[in-house]
A = this chain, B = another copy of it.
Amino acid sequence: MTRFNPTRPALSRERILSEALALIESDGLDAFSTRRLAQRLGCEAMSLYHHHPSKAHLLDSLVDQVLGAMPLPDPSQRPADRLRQLAATWRHMARRHPRFYLWLALHRWNSATGVRFLGAVLGCFADAGLSREQSARAFRVVGYYLLGATLDETGGYAQGPSSLNPIPLDVLQREHPLVAQAGEFFVPEQFDRTFELGFEVLLRGLGLDSGTSPD
């Protein structure tokens, strides 16, 4: 009956990917299924398999596409500034695709596009004069921080329905005043300042501060 739908644009790898990303951002990662994607595309679920061999491959392609869209910093800039820019680009990407970011951040991206980005980050440490070992460790340390920060900022994980025994606000204020009072600084408006605080501490402590040369 609907075996040919003239109003529907032809299926293609690209169209499937962009609709997939839109569906994930609108309905969430958990609700993303090949069947729902097909419905949105106006085709059968199985038609997708002609363009992507599996759901996992589809998501991997999406990772590649999103990573590939990130601009790399100008190599003529100083290493610390390049790192600041890389962090800003990364956080911007995470904020743009908050729900998909959970998948992207928690899966290995060993594609050419992913490695290109890793190389740009590692290059900053090398150019700042760190040894191979220092560079590798600093890369990891900064990566840990950036990963944790973006996961919190996108909030993908904390959105879920609050759990079985959510502590009532008045109890929280009475028994854990420190926790209650800290909440004021955990809102999105504070993300940038908090992120910068830790990021600058790390750059300085790792010998990347561009202002005062470490000796």
Contact = CB atoms under 8 A, between A and B. Distances in A.
B198 A111 contact: no
Given A111-B164, A162-B108, A140 B194 contact: yes
- The quantity of this chain's copies bound in the complex is 2
A60 B146 CA distance: 27
Query: Which has the most chain B C-beta neighbours within 10 Å: A107, A137, A146, A166?
Result: A137
Given A106-B151, A178-B122, A179-B119, A56 B161 contact: yes
Given A136-B182, A201-B206, A108 B163 contact: yes
Contacts of A201: 141, 201-202, 205-206
Interface string A92-117: 00000000001001111111100110
A4 interface: no
Contact of A198 (B106, B144, B197): B144
Interface in A153-177: 156-158, 160-167, 172, 175-176
A186 interface: yes
A149 interface: yes
12 contacts: A56-B160, A61-B164, A108-B160, A122-B178, A126-B178, A133-B185, A137-B194, A140-B185, A140-B186, A141-B145, A144-B145, A147-B147
